[in-house]
């Protein structure tokens, strides 16, 4: 649903475990079709779902749920080089640490705060670089930060409760809907 705009049915969820290529339209297919270059780092499921969509990528398996840092460190280690290589139009970073913390220890875990601070730093670094690029670009940049699901207090998800299906989305940048220009 996050990439295609359609709500998956049960068989889509089952098939996602085997990660077949997504054949329906998606924002990635549209971006590539319009000549945009995409880079990706994170959960290797993306590489299976969208092969040949990225000019650079590195996937990391997401099945080691007890790990709160390794996947995220593997994503972040590419950040500086990508922010110094403005040859891409879309950068997708799929961090898993917060999800793993929630599954193992729930949303009230002592690890949530430090992980959120780490993610704040990632967004800050990206925003600072995009501000520099926007000073000389005709088209302003935007940052979209979102989750792929909510979570129950117990740390589980996959159901239809409000806690599981309400997912925040934050947009940062010039001309973003509802953007307070004082915050940009």
Q: What pairing do the DSSP bridges indicate for beta strands 143-146 and 169-172? A: antiparallel
For domain 10-139, say whether CATH 3.90.1300.10 is its number: no
> For the chain, what are the domain ranges?
10-139
CA distance 71 to 99: 11
Top-ranked range on mean pLDDT: pick from 11-15, 69-73, 118-122, 133-137: 118-122
Q: 22: closest CA among 3, 9, 43?
A: 3
Q: Which of 146, 169, 166 is nearest to 157 (CA)?
A: 166
pTM across the whole model: 0.82
Please tell me the predicted confidence (pLDDT) of residue 6: 55
Per-residue model confidence as pLDDT tens digits over 123-156: 999 999 988 988 888 888 888 888 777 777 776 6
Q: What is the mean pLDDT of the chain?
A: 81
CB 89 within 8 Å of CB 61: no
């Amino acid at each position: 649903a996050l990439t295609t705009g359609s709500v998956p049915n049960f068989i889509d969820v089952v098939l996602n475990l085997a990660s077949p290529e997504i054949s329906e339209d998606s924002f990635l297919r549209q971006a590539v079709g319009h000549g945009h270059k995409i880079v990706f780092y994170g959960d290797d499921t993306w590489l299976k779902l969208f092969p040949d969509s990225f000019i650079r990528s590195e996937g990391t398996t997401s099945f080691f749920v007890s790990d709160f840092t390794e996947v995220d460190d593997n994503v972040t280690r590419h950040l500086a080089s990508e922010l110094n290589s403005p040859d891409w139009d879309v950068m997708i970073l799929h961090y898993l640490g917060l999800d793993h913390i929630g599954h193992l220890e729930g949303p009230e875990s002592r690890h949530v705060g430090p992980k959120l601070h780490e993610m704040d730093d990632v967004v800050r670094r990206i925003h600072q670089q995009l501000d520099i690029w926007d000073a000389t670009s005709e088209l302003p940049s935007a940052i979209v930060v979102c989750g792929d699901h909510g979570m129950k207090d117990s740390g589980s998800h996959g159901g239809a409760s409000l806690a599981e299906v309400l997912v925040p989305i934050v947009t940062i940048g010039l001309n973003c809907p509802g953007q307070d220009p004082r915050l940009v």
